[in-house]
Amino acid sequence: MSIPASTAPASAAGLNQTPDESAGPITAKERIASLDVLRGVALLGILPMNIQAFSMISAAYINPTVYGDLHGANYWVWFFCHLLADEKFMTIFSMLFGAGIFLMTSHIEAAGKNPTALHFRRMGWLILFGVLHAYLLWYGDILVNYGLCGLLAYRFRKSTPRRLIIYGIAFTAVASLLFLYTAWSMPHWPQPQRQAFTQQLWQPTPAMKAAEVAAYRSGWLGEMRQRANDAWVIECQGFLVLAFWRVEGLMLIGMALFKLGVFSARASARVYWSFLAAAGLIGLPAIVYGVYREVASGWEMRDSFFLASQYNYWASILIALGWVGATMLVCQSPLKRFTKPLAAVGRMAFSNYILDTVLCTSIFYGFGLGMFGKVSRVQQIEIVFAIWIVQLVISPIWLKYFQFGPLEWLWRSLTYWKRQGFRRVTIAADGQ
């Protein structure tokens, strides 16, 4: 899955900031550097979760006991990824996407223009990109969810920060209530229905596991049926029950935080330290307790997935704010001069997100090296580190010669329905 909207990878978004239609590409001086850095942190941070969906059967993303070794170092890799990454960086991406909607539309309105058509065209292209990504490459796409939620989030952009936070919490709570209702109702389901549901989502049979492994070790066409089925489940059932409510709510909270100056590193250091304190004193203990509940239940679906998961569902927001606080404190300090590679990754988040898919499917799927189901969690993290290095190296080099990442350029050109400048123009020192 991915960034899951609890399960789906990650995003691209807040992928980039789009200025006024008549203003042309924003210059380096016009960019908000801290936004780029935070987006880069989120892009890198989402991969330790997404790689589980790239390399193992889909059920293993939410139930780590169902596939692969979960002892020793492999357990600790899973535990720390769950503690520090699971839902945390999806949360940051969703908030940044909401901030990006407000930022783009504000630029256009400042020029006396109506941003509605441009915004809806931008979301429409993102949805199309997401559909192609999900059905042609990897089922864990999150772009469709962002595009659909962005259509509604636009209507809230002029609300006050206080209202946005209230609306955001209300949206986010709906998915939580649906999970609690499901947990309450499951004992009353007919046994065949409950068994089929458990096997589909949480505890597939050995035959189901073998079929999924065989599918993703086959060629691209052989994978299509499995990939299309998995994508359909995420983008329909997953969207209606979970992703829409959480992603929409977080987008609205992101708009509020941007308006309050949180993402631009303009809030006081005290605010950011309070984020870190809340993450450490409330968020981390809550998630650890949730893991304890899961283990104590024997990883039974009702108790683990629908009840104990709620600790991470809500505490992940606090951990995400802790990551925001740490990043903004760095951006306020002399250490910010070391953040340029991260900012470059963030400026190319859309392209780097798809690059993650290209690299990981080439490693794990049958049209590439065919390592699906053969790589331990420790080895997954080693691959993550290697991909991080690649992106931290190539992103600054790319932006040295080009104004945008390749997919950022394409999305922007399609949004404005006009070919945007791509290569950087070098002016000789003597002005000639």
pLDDT at residue 53 above 50? yes
pLDDT at residue 27 above 80? no
Instruction: Tell me the average pLDDT of the chain.
Output: 91
Where residue 30 falls among pLDDT bands split at 50, 70, 90? low
Residue of 423 and 29 predicted with greater confidence: 423
> pLDDT tens-digit profile of 99-121?
999 999 998 998 889 999 999 99
Where residue 29 falls among pLDDT bands split at 50, 70, 90? low
Q: At 406, which helix (H) or strand (E)?
A: helix 406-416
Separation of alpha carbons 204 and 249, rounded Å: 31
Predicted pLDDT of residue 18:
39
Predicted pLDDT of residue 31:
78
> pLDDT tens-digit profile of 183-211?
999 999 999 999 999 999 999 999 999 99
Residue 341, burial from CB neighbour count under 10 angstroms (0-12, 13-18, 19+): middle
> pLDDT tens-digit profile of 56-66?
999 999 999 99
* pTM for this predicted structure: 0.91
User: In the structure encoding, which two tokens stand for residue 259, read together?
Assistant: 């308006």
Separation of alpha carbons 132 and 127, rounded Å: 9
> pLDDT tens-digit profile of 228-257?
999 999 999 999 999 999 999 999 999 999
Calculate mean pLDDT across residues 392-409.
96
Q: Are 349 and 126 in contact (CB under 8 A)?
A: no
State the sign of the Cα–Cα–Cα–Cα dihedral 290, 293, 298, 299: negative
397 CB-near residues (< 8 Å, 6+ apart): none
Q: Are 256 and 168 in contact (CB under 8 A)?
A: yes
In the numeric block, the tokens 């609890």 are attached to: 6
- Helix, strand, or coil here: 252? helix
Residue of 15 and 249 predicted with greater confidence: 249
Length of the chain equals 432
